[in-house]
A and B are shown apart, each in its own frame.
Chain A
């Protein structure tokens, strides 16, 4: 049977295959800068350069705050030198490798052409002021303003992503484009990932700001900066919320203009988005009516926005809903134990310590603290019966209170195993044609990312699925009734059997075989005749 060799096309799991005997410049270009070479370091370099640009911006903002700048000016300078060094190396590298770039290699002078390209000019502007200040005394404010231009370097990543997005969304409506940008879809591409990263960045920044705002000395110094930061964050999150509500009708199951939007607004992720911006608006509109500073703490709910970008919470929800009956039973036993313990504690200790075991509700606090093995010690039994009961209940508590934790932990592991098994089955199905195409690879990679599988693990799964697929195609290992169900398999199996009988005939002693078969009558004359025919000793009778 002819089998197609399984292959993986255009997958990020593949290793770069760059011949080492190439000229150095070509080799370097393919390894470091070529956007078309799979498995090279281009994406890695772009990612870290982008991170460095963002950190540069943060540093620039921080430098404007005298309280921070005066204290850490040496560190700021060191970071600036480091950044300029990296950006300079990047610029020189791109300049050196320009003759290998598809865009410039056809030009008369590729390096000059590159140096005059918009991206190269931006790269130059990002580092030039640093070197210029050595020769020309530049105003510090002007220098900082020029450093701000480093943000333009992000265009090197943004522009291609935007072009890809435009290409993928050609002929689609504005709302569909917005949907592709904010919701995961096959049309989103890299720009959608950037949008997600941008939101994640602002969630982290705003949560850090809320945490530091609670430190009085920091809040006193940076009050205005925190206000600006919060206003920007709320602006971004409000825009994101509006875009999601506006474009959700493009999602399956939300087609109705009003009903779909209400459905989206009622979804847990939208409620979280809404709660993330609500404190700001409440404080803005109602500040003159009441003291709403307590609402600021709820800005930490923005952290929940990150649940959209991780599959771990989905897995946890599945685990809880799957194990809910057992968890409920365990909670019931815990509740029973707490009530019993509290009642007995009240019974034995109330007379001895009326102030501490004043009533059963107060005893419940002691019971929970004892059963959960926390043991603050602010309330403790002093009567012999009370102490005896505490010993028994504390020992019981260790077991009973540990049940939910153990349940959740084992169920979580189990759920992960199930999900990985599902991924393996999907891979198995995808490999039915022997090929993993681009769409299938993308799907697998997304799922693998959700399950936090490393590249190595995904490759192992692919190999395993491929082997299983090959095993399935090996007819001989299938049970007889499955072979019989398929005529092609039956014929194939029949041929294999005949060939095996022929092999037997070649390998065995023919004379001995004949004598045993005849003398001991182990074979009927027909069976013996068939044997001879298969061996070719006798002509096949029609």
Chain B
């Protein structure tokens, strides 16, 4: 039983490593995606900002040829998925990635930013503050970190 618990723990650790790999790639890409020739193109920032959506960028990153295409969900063994939020009631979400975006509030507001899920249709043509999490084996949130993309 102890060994099984350990194995379950290693799977959760693998999903954390996935999250960390995503954090690293997005953070590094956030610095140079304004430069011409950035790959994948769907994630490159345009000047002036053009309509580019998060769903396309995510897809291009996770395709087998994409920069993080080799990463798999350690719980299901399948391709990495993104979800709006982790839900302990739905254990199939274990290992999924959760992206939240920070939106600045108007001057004078009580809180400087608002946190909401990074939707498929969200524009990523300009810089965006993201918080990255993964879902644990019980589909609870594990915070990985924050980055500017």
Contact = CB atoms under 8 A, between A and B. Distances in A.
Interface residues on A, range: 10 to 19
B5, B12, B91, B137 — which one has the most chain A CB atoms within 10 A of its CB? B5
B68 interface: no
Interface in B55-72: none
B1 interface: yes
Interface residues of B, number: 19
A220 B138 contact: no
A325 B143 CA distance: 53
A381 to B, nearest CB: 32
Contacts of A230: 5
B109 interface: no
B5 A284 contact: yes
Nearest to B137: A287
A359 B62 CA distance: 59
Interface in B1-17: 1-6, 8-10, 12-13, 16
B138 A231 contact: no
Contacts of A288: 91
A278 to B, nearest CB: 13
B114 to A, nearest CB: 22
Contacts of B138: 287, 291, 293
Contacts of A220: 16, 142-143
A227 B7 CA distance: 10
Contacts of A235: 2
B40 interface: no
Interface in A69-123: none
A224 B10 contact: yes
Contact of A291 (B3, B10, B140): B140
Interface string A324-354: 0000000000000000000000000000000
Given A216-B143, A288-B91, A291-B140, 20 more contacts: A220-B16, A220-B142, A220-B143, A223-B13, A223-B16, A224-B6, A224-B9, A224-B10, A224-B13, A227-B5, A227-B6, A227-B9, A231-B1, A280-B1, A280-B5, A284-B1, A287-B137, A291-B138, A293-B138, A293-B140
Interface of B: 1-6, 8-10, 12-13, 16, 88, 91, 137-138, 140, 142-143
11 contacts: A220-B142, A223-B9, A224-B6, A227-B6, A228-B6, A231-B1, A231-B3, A235-B2, A284-B4, A287-B137, A287-B138
